[in-house]
C-alpha cells in the first residue's frame, strides 16, 4: 500500500516499566533448563496498558514538541486492555489534554495491534480527514505460571505521532504491505486470565510464514531488497525468531542489532516491534531506510518501509530506549507475583 | 473520594491542574474557586510536571483500597515554579530529599475486583 498524500512519523516515544525478572529465576523455580532470553520487564502494581500508553505518548509529544491541538485520532493496540468493555483511549485524551474532537478506539490483533493502529492513522492522515494522529502499541502481557510464555511475556509500549510529510516528519512512510490468514497459533478466550498456544504451530506456519509473506510481498510489489536498508526490525517474541527470520530474508546481524531489545526487555506483544523501531530511530541517521515487520498471532504481519529525514536529530526521544533499559532494576519472583496480581488474598 | 468526585476531579488529577489567584497569585492544588489567602477568585493553572522531593515519609497504614501492597511512600514535592504539593511516589525504593521527580499517570485505586479503575498523578524519579 502506498499513501495518497505523503505521510510519516512526526514524533515517537517508548516506555518500559522499571522492573525486570531474570529468566534463570523462573527456570530454577520450575526446575527447567530453558532460558529463551536473559530477562523480561514487568509492570509495577500501579501500571497497566493505559498508564504505559500514556507514558509512551507523553514522551512522543514532549520529545517532538508536537502541536497537540492538531491531533485528530488516538488508537491503542493491545491484547491486555484494563477493561474488557471501556475504551482506553478516552483516558489518554483527557490525561494528555488532547482535543475532544477526536477519533479513538482500542485495537486487538494479538501482537500486531500496534502496527494495525499505525496503518489506520497513516490512512486517515493521508486522506486528509485528520491532520495528525497517535498510534500506540502497548501491553502487560500475561504468561501462565510454568508456561513457556512466562519467560518472555513482558510489559512496555511505544507511541507514534503521525502527520503529513509537509508538516515535517522524522521518517517518511514509503510503502506498506499486510498479510493475514486464519492460523490459530495463539489465543485467549473471553474471561480467561492467560492465553493458550499450540507450541508447534507458533514457528513455521505462524511467525515465519506471515512475516516472510508480508516482507516478500512488499519487496516484490515495490522493488526493494535487503541491501536497501540500514536497519530492519522484526516482531521479537524471543531471541531466536527475529534473528532467524532476518537471516532467511537476507538481512545481516548488524541491520537488526539496534532494534533487538528482546534479550533484556522480553516480548512486549503489541509494543514489541514498535519498541524495536523506537530503539532503531534512536540511532538512525538521515537518509537511512528502515524495514518494520510486525507479527500478530491468529495470524498476520504488517511490513512498512520508512526513510529517515534530517528532523530525526532534533526529535529523538529523550531519554533513548537504551537509557530506559539501563535504569531498570531487578525484581524477584515474589514481587513479580504480587505486582502481577497472581496472589490470592 | 466517592465515585462521583473521582469523575468530577479527574482532569485536575490526571493533568496536575491547580488554580491561581487572580488577585495575589497564590497557587492551590487541588484547585479551588476562591483563594484561601485573600478571598480572591482563582483561575485554572497548569502546574509544571517536574520538581524535587522536599520531605518524604512511608505510610504503612492506609485504607484497604490504597494499601494492597504494604506501604506507600508519599512526599511534599516542590515543583519547578516553587509550588509545594503533596503527592504519592512510585517506582522508588529509597526516596531522598532533593530527588528529581516527574508527574506521571498511574493507577490510584480500584473499586474492588469488579469496579472502576481510578487513575491519577503520582511522582517518580525522572527518566532522564
Ligand atoms: Zn489570593
A336 touches chain B (CB under 8 A): no
User: Measured in angstroms, how far is the CA atom of residue B36 from the centroid of ligand 1?
Assistant: 7
Domain with CATH 2.40.50 in chain B: 48-128
Task: Indicate whether B79 pLDDT > 70.
Answer: yes
With cell 488529577, the residue in question is B13
pLDDT bucket at A51, cuts 50 / 70 / 90: very high
What local confidence, expressed as pLDDT, does residue B67 receive? 64
Distance from CA of B41 to the nearest CA of A (A): 24
What is the mean predicted confidence (pLDDT) over B87-113? 94
**What are the residue ranges of helices labelled H in B9-123?**
10-15
What local confidence, expressed as pLDDT, does residue A320 receive? 98
What is the enclosing helix (H) or strand (E) of A201? none
Question: Which residues does residue A180 pair with via DSSP β-bridges, in sequence order?
Answer: A300
Contact B119 A319 (CB under 8 A): no
Sheet of B27-28: strand order equals B27-28, B17-21, B42-46
What is the enclosing helix (H) or strand (E) of A23? helix A23-29
The DSSP string of A113-130 is: HHHHHHHHHHHHHHHTS-
The answer to whether the A7-170+314-339 and A174-309 domains have the same CATH topology is yes
Task: Indicate whether B72 pLDDT > 90.
Answer: no
Q: Which of A114-123, A172-181, A210-219, B62-71 has the lowest mean pLDDT?
A: B62-71
Which residues lie below 8 Å from residue A220, measured CB to CB, with a gap of 6+? none
Tally of CB atoms within 10 A around A39 = 24
pLDDT bucket at B1, cuts 50 / 70 / 90: low
What is the mean predicted confidence (pLDDT) over A263-267? 97
Q: Mark out chain B residues that contact chain A at CB-CB < 8 A.
A: 10-11, 14-15, 68-69, 90-91, 93, 104-108, 117, 119, 122, 124, 127-128
Residue B52 sits at the vertex; the CA angle it makes with B48 and B58, to the nearest 5 degrees, is 120
pLDDT bucket at A200, cuts 50 / 70 / 90: low
Contact A46 B127 (CB under 8 A): no
Interatomic CA distance for residues A10 and A133, integer angstroms: 10
pTM: predicted TM-score of the whole model, two decimal places: 0.97
Q: What ranges do the domains of chain A cover?
A: 7-170+314-339, 174-309
CB B8 within 8 A of CB B118: no
What local confidence, expressed as pLDDT, does residue B65 receive? 73
What local confidence, expressed as pLDDT, does residue A202 receive? 78
A101-156 tens-digit pLDDT: 999 999 999 999 999 999 999 999 999 999 999 999 999 999 999 999 999 999 99
Residue A81 is placed in which grid cell? 486492555
CB A162 within 8 A of CB A9: yes
Kindly report the average pLDDT of chain A as a whole number. 96
A174-309 architecture in CATH? 3-Layer(aba) Sandwich (3.40)
B8-54 tens-digit pLDDT: 889 999 999 999 999 999 999 999 999 999 999 999 999 999 999 99
Name which residue leads in pLDDT, B79 or A199: B79
Q: Which CATH class is domain A7-170+314-339?
A: alpha beta
Q: Please report, rounded to a whole number, the percentage of residues in chain A having pLDDT higher than 90.
A: 91
Task: Indicate whether A344 pLDDT > 90.
Answer: no
What is the mean predicted confidence (pLDDT) over A233-248? 97
Burial class (CB in 10 A: 0-12, 13-18, 19+), B113: exposed
For residue B102, what is the nearest residue in chain A, using CA coordinates? A55
Q: Please report, rounded to a whole number, the percentage of residues in chain B having pLDDT higher than 70.
A: 97
User: Most confidently modeled of A29-38, B66-75, B76-85?
Assistant: B76-85
For the segment(s) B48-128, the CATH number from 1.10.357, 2.60.40, 3.40.50, 2.40.50 is: 2.40.50
Interatomic CA distance for residues A12 and A160, integer angstroms: 5
A88 touches chain B (CB under 8 A): no
Secondary structure of residue A76 in the 3-state scheme = strand
Task: Indicate whether A38 pLDDT > 80.
Answer: yes
Amino acid at each position: 500500500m502506498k499513501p495518497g498524500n505523503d505521510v510519516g512519523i512526526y514524533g515517537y516515544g517508548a516506555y518500559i516499566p522499571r522492573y525486570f525478572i531474570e529468566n534463570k529465576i523462573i527456570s530454577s523455580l520450575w526446575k527447567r533448563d530453558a532460558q529463551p532470553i536473559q530477562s523480561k520487564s514487568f509492570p509495577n502494581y500501579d501500571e497497566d496498558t493505559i498508564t504505559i500508553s500514556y507514558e509512551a505518548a507523553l514522551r512522543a509529544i514532549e520529545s517532538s514538541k508536537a502541536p497537540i491541538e492538531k491531533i485528530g485520532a488516538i488508537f491503542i493496540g493491545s491484547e491486555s486492555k484494563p477493561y474488557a468493555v471501556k475504551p482506553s483511549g478516552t483516558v489518554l485524551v483527557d490525561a494528555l489534554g488532547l482535543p475532544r474532537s477526536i477519533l479513538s478506539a482500542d485495537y486487538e490483533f494479538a501482537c500486531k495491534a500496534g502496527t494495525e493502529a499505525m496503518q489506520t492513522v497513516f490512512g486517515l492522515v493521508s486522506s486528509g480527514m485528520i491532520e495528525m494522529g497517535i498510534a500506540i502499541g502497548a501491553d502487560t502481557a500475561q504468561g501462565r505460571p510454568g508456561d513457556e510464555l512466562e519467560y518472555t511475556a513482558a510489559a512496555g509500549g511505544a507511541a507514534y505521532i503521525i502527520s503529513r510529510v509537509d508538516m515535517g516528519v522524522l521518517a517518511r512512510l514509503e510503502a506498506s504491505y499486510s498479510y493475514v490468514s486464519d492460523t490459530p497459533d495463539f489465543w485467549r478466550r473471553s474471561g480467561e486470565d492467560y492465553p493458550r498456544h499450540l507450541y508447534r504451530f507458533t514457528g513455521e506456519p505462524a511467525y515465519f510464514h506471515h512475516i516472510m509473506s508480508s516482507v516478500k510481498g512488499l519487496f516484490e510489489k515495490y522493488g526493494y531488497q535487503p541491501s536497501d536498508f540500514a536497519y530492519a526490525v522484526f516482531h521479537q517474541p524471543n531471541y531466536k525468531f527475529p534473528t532467524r527470520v532476518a537471516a532467511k530474508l537476507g538481512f545481516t546481524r548488524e541491520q537488526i542489532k539496534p532494534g533487538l531489545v528482546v534479550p533484556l526487555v522480553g516480548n512486549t506483544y503489541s509494543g514489541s516491534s514498535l519498541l524495536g523501531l523506537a530503539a532503531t530511530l534512536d540511532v538512525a541517521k538521515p537518509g537511512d531506510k528502515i524495514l518494520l515487520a510486525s507479527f500478530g498471532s491468529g495470524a498476520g504481519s504488517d511490513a512498512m518501509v520508512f526513510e529517515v529525514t534530517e528532523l530525526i536529530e532534533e526529535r529523538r526521544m529523550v531519554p533513548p530506549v537504551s537509557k530506559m533499559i539501563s535504569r531498570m532494576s531487578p525484581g524477584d519472583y515474589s514481587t513479580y507475583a504480587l505486582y502481577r496480581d497472581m496472589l490470592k488474598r | 473520594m466517592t465515585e462521583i468526585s473521582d469523575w468530577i476531579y479527574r482532569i485536575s488529577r490526571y493533568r496536575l491542574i491547580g488554580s491561581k489567584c487572580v488577585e495575589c497569585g497564590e497557587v492551590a492544588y487541588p484547585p479551588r474557586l476562591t483563594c484561601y489567602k485573600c478571598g480572591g477568585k482563582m483561575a485554572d493553572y497548569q502546574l509544571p510536571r517536574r520538581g524535587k522531593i522536599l520531605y518524604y515519609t512511608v505510610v504503612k497504614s492506609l485504607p484497604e483500597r490504597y494499601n494492597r501492597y504494604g506501604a506507600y511512600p508519599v512526599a511534599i514535592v516542590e515543583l519547578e515554579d516553587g509550588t509545594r504539593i503533596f503527592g504519592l511516589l512510585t517506582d522508588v525504593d529509597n526516596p531522598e530529599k532533593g530527588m528529581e521527580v516527574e508527574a506521571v499517570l498511574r493507577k490510584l485505586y480500584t473499586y474492588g475486583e469488579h469496579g472502576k479503575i481510578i487513575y491519577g498523578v503520582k511522582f517518580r524519579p525522572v527518566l532522564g
